[in-house]
Amino acid sequence: MTRFLRLCKIAFVIFYYGLDELVLSGFQNRHIRLLVRVISIGRRLDTVPRGVRLRLALTRLGPIFVKFGQVLSTRRDLLPADIADELALLQDQVPPFDPAVAVAIIERSLGRPLTQLFETFEYQPVASASIAQVHFATLKAGAHRGREVAVKVLRPGMLPVIDSDLALMRDVAIWIERVSADGKRLKPREVVAEFDKYLHDELDLMIEAANASQLRRNFQDTELLLVPEVFWDFCSSEVFVMERMHGIPISRTESLKAAGVDLHRLAEEGVEIFFTQVFRDGFFHADMHPGNILVSVQPETFGRYIALDFGIVGALSEFDKNYLAQNFIAFFRRDYHRVALLHVESGWVPPQTRVEELESAVRACCEPYFDKPLKEISLGMVLMRLFQTSRRFNVEIQPQLVLLQKTLLNIEGLGRQLDPDLDLWKTAKPYLERWMHEQVGWRGAWERIQVEAPQWAKMLPDFPRLAHQFLERRALVNNSQQDRLLAALVVEQRRTNRMLAIGLLLGGAVTIALVMTQLVDWFG
């Protein structure tokens, strides 16, 4: 019943904001256009712009739909400008909740009155997102007294709403698997399960604090990315206190130009940051929309990226990293045969797939887009053609890479805003080739030896004893096997002897019977 009521609410919001008319108006069929005119009777949909209606509807439907709008806002090549501009407001302009409620959550979670925790506290939130909102403050307690901080407070009552929407998504996923020819290949239930995990991780701010701490440690020896310091004494599952960062939002390109920031260099460094996270660390910020990225204008860190909001991160195994890197390099070298082989070797396509056919299909998808600046590449068209190709060859969607695909879309959106002429391929290719050399070359082998050496040093003194124990067990096993074999031979020999004895007795009895019969004939 709860799911049914939620579905009714979604239908009501769609109708109230005229999203049904917004979708159907794009069709040219005269029957559908007649339907649009009928359902529009009595509704003044022209008084509010369509982008505003879509943004308000997504906001009203809750955090999952807001997240969906955030991703869409970076895809200006797929959306009209008015809709993209409105959806961009979802990044950090979701209506805030009552500051008094935020203060109550802080005091309950940290166990002290607000006046004992902070010297100053700005009751008006500086940012409000779908999951939490942020207030600026100055620390009063502890060793960090006087430090400027950002206090992130979880929205109250989020879990029931998210669980309800996820239940609907699971139902839809099951329905897709049953009625769609591509249902099993697309693995919708696995994708929803991944989305479920990451959304619930966002509802525990201690997880986000740990993510921030890990990302800060990964980049502490580089000049690519700034990550705020975490103040663990002031963190809980509902409150996250971090260093306040000063910078210009990356979406404000005119302000960045006025401050003297080199946008072309910034775009290239953004690509390097992404590939460093994915292929060096296997741990990447997976919510890199413009609302979560600033650019520092402080003299000591001028022009460096600042990362915010660490609720969603992704992780890749060594197999995933190696497979992706080889695919990227093969794409950059236009080695489509290698791409096709990698798909077969990884099990993403059925083993009976003809490599030559898959190679030809991938070439047809990607070849037209090389040697073009980013502004002339419609990644939406590329993805659509690749999807059609994958359906033809029964390519299985990998749920563990869904976040990476989403992040790639965000990165492309950022690159398009900063420098439409950026050649994404040429920027990424040298980095990937260097990474592959480090992984498979002598340097990579030496680094792995250094990592494993302490474990080997610990095991080496035990090696003679372990070898002796192994040989003893092997000998016991061999002896045991021989004993079992001899016992089986003895049993078989006894069985054979019994059969021979029975045979001899029967033969003797038959012989005696024949002799007695013959004697009777003679003397009868």
Q: Which two tokens stand for residue 76?
A: 């200006």
Distance CA 365, CA 336 (A): 10
Distance CA 135, CA 150 (A): 6
Closest by CA position to 131, among listed 315, 308, 249, 8? 308
Closest by CA position to 127, among listed 115, 135, 119, 137? 135
Q: Please list the active-site residues.
A: 287
User: 29-33: long-range contacts (C-beta < 8 A, 24 or more apart)?
Assistant: none
Q: Which two tokens stand for residue 438?
A: 């480090």
Residue 154, helix vs strand vs coil: strand
Closest by CA position to 237, among listed 159, 137, 139? 159
Distance CA 422, CA 428 (A): 11
Question: Which residue type, as a one-letter code, is found at position 503?
Answer: G
Q: Which two tokens stand for residue 32?
A: 């559908």
59 touches 92 (CB < 8 A): no
The DSSP secondary structure of 312-356, one letter per residue, reads -EEE--HHHHHHHHHHHHHHHTT-HHHHHHHHHHTTSS-TT--HH
Question: Which residue type, as a one-letter code, is found at position 52?
Answer: V
Distance CA 412, CA 406 (A): 10
